Amino acid sequence: MAFTVLAAVGIIVAAAVYTIVSGLQKNIAKARKTGLVYIVVPIDPINIVWQLTFFLWVPLIKLLPRSLWENWLFVMIPEWGYRTGQTHFDRLGAETFIVVSPTSLIMYTQSPEAIHQITQRRDAFPKEISRYEILDMFGKSVLTTEAGLWRVHRKVTSASFNEKNAAHTFAEAVNQTRGMLGMWFGGPDGERIGTTRTIKSLEHDTMTWALNIIGYVGFGLRLLWPGQTLPKDMDPKLAKYGSLDAPPGHSMTFADSVALTLERIVAILLFPDALLQLMPFKFAKEAYTAKRNYVRYMNEFLHEKVEETQSGQPRREGMDIMGQLVQSKYNNSPTPTKDKTTTTKDKTTTTKDSKLDDSDIIGNAFIMIVAGHETTANTLHFALVELANNPATQRRLQRDVDALLGEPDSDSISDPSAQRQWDYERVINPLLASHVGATVNETLRLMPPVTGIPKVVASDADQALTVDGRTHLLPAGMSITLLPVCVQRNPRWWPAAAGTSGEEKKNDMDEFLPERWYRSRDDDGSNNNNNNNNNNNRKDELAATAVEDKADYGGFQGSDVSASLYRPVRGSYLPFSDGPRSCLGRRIAMVEMAAALAVIFQRYSIELAVDEWVGDDAQVEAMGAAERRALYRRAQEKSRETLRLADSVLTLKLHGGRHVPVSYESYRKTDLELAIDEHLSENVSRYQMDPRFLDYFKSRARAGGSPVKKEALATLDMKPARRRAARVVEEIAAAVEPEDDNDEEAEEDEDESTSLTTQTAHAASDALARTPGRAMALASRLQLPATPAEVAQAVDRGALAVRARATSLYRDSGLGDAAQTTRAWLSTVHSVVSAIALFELYRLRQELLPDRYAFTVPAVRALGTPDYPVHLPDMFAVVTAGFWGPALTWALTSVLLPSLAGYFFNLSLGAAQQQAQSGGGRVVRSKAGGHPVAYAVDPVMFSIVKAVVTYVVYAQGVTLGGLINPDSVSRINSALYSGWKGVLVGTAVSGLTAVYDAVLRK
């Protein structure tokens, strides 16, 4: 028997090895023929099994010698492009390379030339829709189709994306942003409801903001913020979608069903409904309930739209995406179906110009909600966090908003003055050409919604691709991944925002610097004519090799970037993709985000919250300037570390409860300037010799007083916009390093008496100053000796720097986080039960897999060590009945039967349900004290049943109808510590632990 099993295993292994080796040889030959750089990996990196389990294998692979994995393992980790940027492209010395596995070929590229050709030649390089087929669960859509069928979907869906609807979206974005501010601050005047200024729900709130916009503009559904009410004259059919309470026939609101469907999208995509309904896990129940509610809502909405269309009712205001989709099928004058022949350069195809099915309508509606909701929300979320990280950029954005919009006239979008102020035709292009547009562009450059765009070489023929003057023949069927997140950080195609020049120019491609959008590649003062000529030549080559697809596929046809800003080389900036399959709603998205940033920063400023390190504001107020700077730097480091952990499911976002908290303060902008002025006046000796403030002191000497106070007095009758700003600039100063001293913004304002705010913010100063007048012009040129107070401050700064560095090294090591994570995991009932089971398994392993001599480590004379025999577990025992009999018996008695009993006789679930019913809510698993926890398997019942089964089987010899082998029982008793008595002790410990845990929660 054992020989037969071994022979079968050997045959299977041999066949697998042959398949792997032959497939690898064939694919390596194809890769060599292309002439591109290639690397070899053991498994397809986009294989679904690897994608779900890579986190288990990567640490094990890294235990091997580094030389065995350092050249290829990076590409096996999802989001490697976002994590590593240019690192591996620089090491390979190429902008395009091929990954070869036994089953696939994948080309990764960050070459603008290659990207432009691939995105324009739609028939030669179609979208790899096999990666999107899983999204067809709601029906086919414009995202999941290709060729002629895609044209049908594109034609129907693109009709709603026009400039008129962009204006409608702009107005609704202004309205919804005010609703979000009202929720944060309790009203338009900024008086927040609650006891804390910290906003921890930024990611969730921007998702709600975007959903409310697409819900109303795209589908005519008025969704509400907490505290809002629906208009009394609203259509009852639409009211149920915006209600804050679940309507009859539904167990959750429409907004909640959409949000939870997207949150649990992975489970919904991976598991069928029947399995989700049966799985005893919270995520499965939530996924099933959310999907069921969402599908029911959309079916009802579809039927209502069909009735409206067939009855001849006029279309609703806005994009009315669902109405447009329904009219394409159910209008009263249907277009006859006919065959349509399409001729391209490569081939001629005949497609059926058919209408969409009901499932296609719902599928497109789902994609429009996702595309018009999650992508925009995530970008706005990242933009707000980056602006909190970079106060200097935030100040410049606020000045541009003030210049374009002035003081907010009204909080009602329907007010005539507000309509004038927020007139779409008047303000949208200036906004997108200002620092508002630069901020949105820079956010999309660093964190595009999609980090990898999948394409594939057409399966009917090899395709030629010209890169850097060389033509490469790509094999048919090869996968291609375009990497926006890499090409958008390539210094070859982007200007540096820093003002340094020459070879020492700082590579700041990974930094958030919207100022780079005001520069060209040759305006940094460097004499780099050869490089500029090369770039011009590259543009000419790109234009020569590109095959422009001039067909009209609908949607916005203009550039993604304002003509007043830096225009990247075609193919080097593609947050919305490019070519025929570019995002339909990119104009809508830019309009939404510009409106939101303008509304928020017309009134308020945001900063990073520091609650994690300080208890209250009093502690911050008691700190010195250096301590505040160190504190804010710590918040910045934590924020940037959190952003680096962003990951993609549908789009790039923060997952797993990760978030960056932000806060606000009650200073107005002018109040802040005067407070800064007071601060510098009290610390003249500290700042008078600082070269960063010489221009300011000189301007004061010329003006004979404080330009800040003069500006404040001169503009009192201008009613400056109220804005929430940071509590003190010491907390903001850490956001900008000294390298920013030469920032172009300060240069632009050098001759203006009001340049102080810009210069000090960009120079990381603590405050603006009030100086004694002309005398400071002379004092600033005198090299005065340091005072004892300055010496003491220098010593304090040194000590603080050393302490901060030591703290940073400890924090960066991850030891603290690892210890806290381990402690949190071990501080549960399940960890105690698992530890007891692992101890039993350890004892049982010595009986079932005894150690056998393997080899001897020879003696080392230099160290004086003797020969050391090495013994390893006898793995051949796994194929014998002597192993499986006791192993299955232990698993049955110690794991399976107790788990089944703990699942069905679940006292914790009953208690939680009882409390939920008495409180009028639903069962919520909580780790907070005072709330019962509904365990999937009740640990007390698990321990009781395990004790009973152990005593009956191991002490009394009951065989359960012959199911238990007495020999297996005997071997288990001899292997376990103290036999069945030891097991009973373990169950007593785990049971008491569970009871103790329950008492603590009470």
Question: 23-34: b or e for each residue (b if 16 or more CB lie within 10 Å)?
Answer: ebeebbebbeeb
Residue 583 assigned to a binding site: yes
Encoded tokens for 910: 């009953």
Question: 753-776: b or e for each residue (b if 16 or more CB lie within 10 Å)?
Answer: bbbbbbbbbbbbbbbbbbbeeeeb
Query: Measuring CA to CA, which residue among 279, 280, 284, 250 is closest to residue 264?
Result: 284
**pLDDT-above-70 percentage for the chain:** 72
pTM check: above 0.75: no
Round the CA-based radius of gyration of the chain to a whole number and report it: 33
**Does residue 582 register a pLDDT over 80?**
yes
- The pLDDT, as a whole number, for residue 435 is 94
**Residue 857 vs residue 803, higher pLDDT:** 857
Task: Return all residues near 436 (Cβ < 8 A) that are at least 6 apart.
Answer: 397, 400, 401, 594, 597, 598
**Does residue 834 register a pLDDT over 70?**
yes
* 140 close to 153: Cβ distance less than 8 angstroms: yes
- The pLDDT, as a whole number, for residue 764 is 33
Task: Return all residues near 584 (Cβ < 8 A) that are at least 6 apart.
Answer: 142, 154, 157, 158, 161, 371, 554, 555, 556
Instruction: Give the amino acid at 534.
Output: N
Give the bridge partners for 105, in sequence order. 100
Encoded tokens for 50: 């690897």
pLDDT in tens, 69-128: 999 999 999 889 998 889 999 999 999 999 999 999 999 999 999 999 999 998 899 988
Q: What mean pLDDT, rounded, does the chain reach?
A: 76
* C-alpha span between 106 and 453 (Å, rounded): 12
Question: What is the SS3 assignment for 695?
Answer: helix
**Does residue 598 register a pLDDT over 90?**
yes
Confidence of residue 960 (pLDDT cuts 50, 70, 90): confident
**Neighbouring C-beta atoms of residue 36, cutoff 10 Å:** 19
**Neighbouring C-beta atoms of residue 406, cutoff 10 Å:** 14
Encoded tokens for 256: 């909640």
Query: Measuring CA to CA, which residue among 490, 638, 399, 672 is closest to residue 109?
Result: 490
CA distances from 128 to 147, 299, 455, 525 (A): 12, 29, 5, 44
- DSSP code per residue over 47-86: -HHHHHHHHHHHHHHTTS-GGGTTTTGGGGSTTHHHHHTT
Question: What is the SS3 assignment for 290?
Answer: helix
Strand duo 662-663 + 348-352: pairing: unpaired
Q: How far is CA 278 from the centre of its chain?
A: 31
Question: What is the SS3 assignment for 78?
Answer: coil
- The pLDDT, as a whole number, for residue 470 is 92
Confidence of residue 445 (pLDDT cuts 50, 70, 90): very high
* C-alpha span between 118 and 480 (Å, rounded): 9
- The pLDDT, as a whole number, for residue 556 is 67
Lowest-pLDDT range, 302-311, 451-460, 815-824?
A: 815-824
- The pLDDT, as a whole number, for residue 923 is 44
In this structure, what are the phi and psi dihedrals at residue 471, rounded to the nearest 5 degrees?
-100, 130
- The pLDDT, as a whole number, for residue 139 is 81
* 260 close to 276: Cβ distance less than 8 angstroms: no
* C-alpha span between 33 and 107 (Å, rounded): 13
* C-alpha span between 371 and 586 (Å, rounded): 10
pLDDT in tens, 675-718: 556 665 666 566 666 666 666 555 555 544 444 444 433 333 33
pLDDT in tens, 765-797: 333 333 333 333 444 444 455 566 666 666 766
* C-alpha span between 22 and 19 (Å, rounded): 5
**Does residue 814 register a pLDDT over 80?**
no
Confidence of residue 487 (pLDDT cuts 50, 70, 90): very high
- The pLDDT, as a whole number, for residue 549 is 59
**Does residue 545 register a pLDDT over 60?**
no
pLDDT in tens, 382-431: 999 999 999 989 999 999 998 898 776 555 444 545 566 788 888 999 99
Query: Mean of the pLDDT values across residues 458-475?
Result: 91
Output DSSP code: residue 525: S
Both ends of the chain: CA-CA distance in Å?
A: 57
Query: Mean of the pLDDT values across residues 11-30?
Result: 89
- The pLDDT, as a whole number, for residue 789 is 60
- The pLDDT, as a whole number, for residue 102 is 93
**Does residue 187 register a pLDDT over 60?**
no
What totals of helices (H) and strands (E) does the chain contain, helices first?
43, 15
**Does residue 7 register a pLDDT over 90?**
no
Phi-psi region of 448 (alpha: psi -120 to 50; beta: other; left: phi over 0): beta
Confidence of residue 367 (pLDDT cuts 50, 70, 90): confident
SS3 content of the chain, % helix, strand, coil (to 5): 55, 5, 35
Confidence of residue 30 (pLDDT cuts 50, 70, 90): very high
Encoded tokens for 588: 């809508």
Q: ∠63-67-72 over CA atoms, to 5°?
A: 90
Lowest-pLDDT range, 32-41, 530-539, 628-637, 981-990?
A: 530-539
Instruction: Give the amino acid at 175.
Output: N
- What stretch of H or E contains 852? strand 851-857
Instruction: Tell me the longest C-alpha to C-alpha distance in the chain.
Output: 104
